[in-house]
Amino acid sequence: MLIAVTSSGDSLDSLVNEKFGRCQYFIIVNADTMKYEVVPNPAENAQGGAGPKAAEVLVNKGVNVLLTGHVGDKAEEALKKGHIHIITGLNENTKIADAIKFYLSKK
Partner 1 sequence: MVISIASGKGGTGKTTVACGLASVTNNCVYIDCDVEEPNGHILLKPKITLEESSYKIIPKINNDLCNFCNKCTEVCEFNALLNFKTEIYLIDELCHSCGACTYFCPQKAITEVKKENGKIRIGETSDNILFYDAYLKVGEASAAPLIKKVKNAYKGDGPIIIDSPPGTSCSMLEAVKDSDFCILVTESTPFGFNDLKLAINVLRQINIPYGIVINKYDENFSLLDEYIHDNQLNLLLRIPFRMDIAESYSKGELPTETVKDYKVMMLDLLEKIKKEIVKKEYA
Partner 2 sequence: MPDKHYKQIVILSGKGGTGKTTVATALSEIAEAKVVIDTDVDAANMHLVFDYYINSEYDYYGGKKAEINSDKCTQCGICESVCRFDAIKEFKVSRTSCEGCGFCFRVCPDDAISFYESKSGVYSECELEDQSKFYYAQLLAGEGNSGKLVSEIKKKAYEQVKENVKWIIIDGPPGIGCPVNASLSGVDFVVIVTEPTQSGLHDLKRLINLLKIFKIPSGVIINKYDINTDMSNSIEKFIRPEGISLLAKIPFDKKFIKAIQNSKSIIEYDHAYIDTFKTIWNDIQKVILN
Residue ranges binding partner 1 (CB under 8 A) = 43, 46-50, 52-53, 55-56, 59-60, 73-74, 77-78, 81-82
63-102: which residues touch partner 2 (CB under 8 A)? 69-70, 72-73, 89-94, 99, 102
The closest alpha carbon to 69, from 45, 52, 57, 86, belongs to: 86
Cβ-based burial of 83 (10 A; exposed 0-12, middle 13-18, buried ≥19): exposed
Residue number with CB closer to partner 1 (81 or 85) = 81
Integer Cα distance of 20 and 1 in angstroms: 20
22 binds, among partner 1, partner 2, none (CB under 5 to 8 A by kind): partner 2
